[in-house]
A = this chain, B = another copy of it.
Amino acid sequence: MPRSPAGDRGTIVMPVTLAQIDRYLVENADRHLEELKAFLKIPSVSADSRHKADVARAADFVMSQFRAAGLDAELVKTAGHPICYGTWLKAAGAPTVLIYGHYDVQPPDPLDQWTTPPFEPTVRDGRLYARGATDDKGQVFTHIKSLEAWMKVAGTLPVNVKFVIEGEEEVGSNNLDLFLEANKSRLAADVAVISDTSQFARDVPAITYGLRGIVACEVTVRGPNSDKHSGVFGGAIANPVNALARMIAGLHDDQGRITIPGFYDGIPPMSADERARLAQLPFDERQFLSELGVDAGWGEAGYTSLERRWVRPTCDVNGITGGYQGEGPKTIIPSSATAKITCRLVPDQNPEKVVAGLEARLRKLAPPGVKVEFRTWHGCPAFVFDPTSRYMGAAKKAIATGFGVEPVMIREGGSIPVVASFRSLLGLDTLLLGWGQNSDNLHGPNEHFHLADFRRGTRASAHLWHELCVV
């Protein structure tokens, strides 16, 4: 059977090649899994400076994977962790796809809640357990391996590919925009593809047409110059932990609405259409809560669970610390207390305005006698894109083949700042094709990726390159 030459998008040659590619993926599935495990063994925790060398090792691993797949590979230095840039640009006349992913991972703690260690990838019950298994190393790997399959089987790709894998997604992608800005023409493409979201449910693959934005902050309340005896001093000075609790509590009212001034500015009321579309999704609230291990939901009054997660903004504390945390009691007034706070944003909240409002609200709620320190980590706006683009149709077909079922159209509660950057800096729409599942424990202990999703996602990816070329 003849190889498919660059630019030859004939409907006779391709289906045969696609079958060969499908077979290649089946025959090489075990090796692909072993290579993914090697990737997952590298503790590339970008938030923790002690893992700097590990993050660099992960970048090197990606580079070797690019080369093995037949891509040209370039390691782009940044002020932080490097960007892996892989290209194949010989499909003259065919569309150019900008694929994006990240090789860095979330911190693995709490370590004692992992059944097997986070950086010793282990398969149990058809799932691959490791930090980064689904977010995002495993999902990135589906695209690397689908490209490898095309190159090994066909010796060519049906589309041009520019593959950007960064190492700072989990800490705000601080250097990615600089890279995009400095390489606008070099990165020119027709559409972007990202697999860093989830299916809607088990065996219900989805295309995500909207994401929430985010702002991440840290607030520290300082009281007495050291921990003080709670008997000798208690009652006469503000306790930094009590103060911080009061400040956090004051961010919501009794109806779960956020009380930050101007917080809801710019948010349009939900349309009846969208409410109906969300209500039609096969969402089982009881099962959702049961999987989380909680017996009731909670959130902003007047909205359903899906609406609260996709269409409404939030204000959550991600961590809090202050005073004595060891065994037994300790009778002190702590010297200070700190909380990490993130707000999830929706269109068209302004991240800077939200941060300024949050800081002002916290300072206003602080009692006399404490000092409030406030710092911001990173932020990005939310967005919703057009679900009727022609590339969307290609993705639907590829997923239907890879997963054996048509995808549903959803929004997501998470944030992928690069999607907004792709639109504002490169003028690109993004196809958000999630191969993982919400129950994969991304960001938590025992993160995992179903092997079936790894295989189906890789197949869908391989078919996507073809479908994008025939649209």
Cβ A216 vs Cβ B298 within 8 A:
no
Cβ B293 vs Cβ A225 within 8 A:
yes
Find chain B residues with CB under 8 A from A229 CB. Answer: 414, 442-444
Find chain B residues with CB under 8 A from A413 CB. Answer: 231-235
Q: Any chain B CB within 8 A of the CB of A30?
A: no
Residue of chain B at shortest CB distance from A223:
B294
Find chain B residues with CB under 8 A from A242 CB. Answer: 248-249, 251-252, 315-317
CA distance A191 to B229 in the complex (A): 27
Pick the contact of A241: B214, B237, B317, B438 (CB < 8 A): B317
Q: Mark A294-309, 1 if CB is under 8 A from B, else 0.
A: 1111111000011011
Find chain B residues with CB under 8 A from A292 CB. Answer: 224-225, 228, 233, 237
Query: Chain A interface secondary structure, helix, strand, loop or mixed?
Result: loop
Residue of chain B at shortest CB distance from A238:
B298
For A249, A294, A309, A444, which residue has the most chain B Cβ atoms within 10 angstroms?
Answer: A294
- B-facing residues in A362-382 (Cβ within 8 Å): 367-370, 377-378
Pick the contact of A48: B216, B251, B328 (CB < 8 A): B328
Cβ A228 vs Cβ B444 within 8 A:
yes
Give the interface size bracket for A toward B: 35 or more
Q: Any chain B CB within 8 A of the CB of A5?
A: no
Q: Any chain B CB within 8 A of the CB of A353?
A: no
Cβ A319 vs Cβ B241 within 8 A:
yes
Q: Any chain B CB within 8 A of the CB of A250?
A: yes
Known: A226-B444, A305-B236. A316 touches B328 (CB 8 A): no
Cβ A326 vs Cβ B230 within 8 A:
no
Find chain B residues with CB under 8 A from A305 CB. Answer: 236
Q: Any chain B CB within 8 A of the CB of A148?
A: no
Find chain B residues with CB under 8 A from A250 CB. Answer: 249
Known: A225-B292, A231-B412, A331-B443. 19 other contacts (CB 8 A): A47-B326, A47-B328, A107-B326, A110-B227, A113-B226, A113-B335, A171-B328, A224-B292, A226-B293, A233-B292, A235-B312, A236-B309, A237-B299, A238-B298, A242-B251, A242-B316, A298-B369, A319-B332, A320-B323
CA distance A313 to B442 in the complex (A): 45
A interface residues (Cβ-Cβ under 8 A, vs B): 47-49, 106-107, 109-110, 113, 171-172, 198, 212, 214, 216, 218, 223-239, 241-242, 244-252, 288-289, 292-300, 305-306, 308-309, 312-335, 337-340, 342, 344, 367-370, 377-378, 412-415, 438, 441-446
CA distance A252 to B438 in the complex (A): 39
Find chain B residues with CB under 8 A from A415 CB. Answer: 231, 331
CA distance A231 to B208 in the complex (A): 14
Residue of chain B at shortest CB distance from A291:
B225
CA distance A273 to B337 in the complex (A): 39
Cβ B296 vs Cβ A330 within 8 A:
no
Find chain B residues with CB under 8 A from A244 CB. Answer: 245, 320
Find chain B residues with CB under 8 A from A289 CB. Answer: 237, 369
Residue of chain B at shortest CB distance from A213:
B231
Pick the contact of A331: B248, B335, B342 (CB < 8 A): B342
What are 26 sample pairs from A and B whose C-beta atoms fall under 8 A apart?
A47-B329, A47-B330, A212-B231, A218-B329, A225-B292, A230-B318, A230-B443, A231-B413, A232-B442, A233-B413, A236-B297, A237-B292, A241-B339, A244-B245, A245-B246, A246-B249, A249-B250, A294-B369, A294-B370, A318-B324, A319-B322, A320-B320, A320-B325, A325-B338, A328-B377, A329-B378
Cβ A232 vs Cβ B438 within 8 A:
yes
**Distance from A114 Cβ to chain B, minimum over Cβ atoms (Å):** 10
Find chain B residues with CB under 8 A from A320 CB. Answer: 241, 244-245, 320-323, 325, 337
Cβ B324 vs Cβ A109 within 8 A:
yes
Cβ A231 vs Cβ B414 within 8 A:
yes
Find chain B residues with CB under 8 A from A235 CB. Answer: 299-300, 308-309, 312-314, 344, 413
Pick the contact of A325: B239, B300, B319, B445 (CB < 8 A): B319
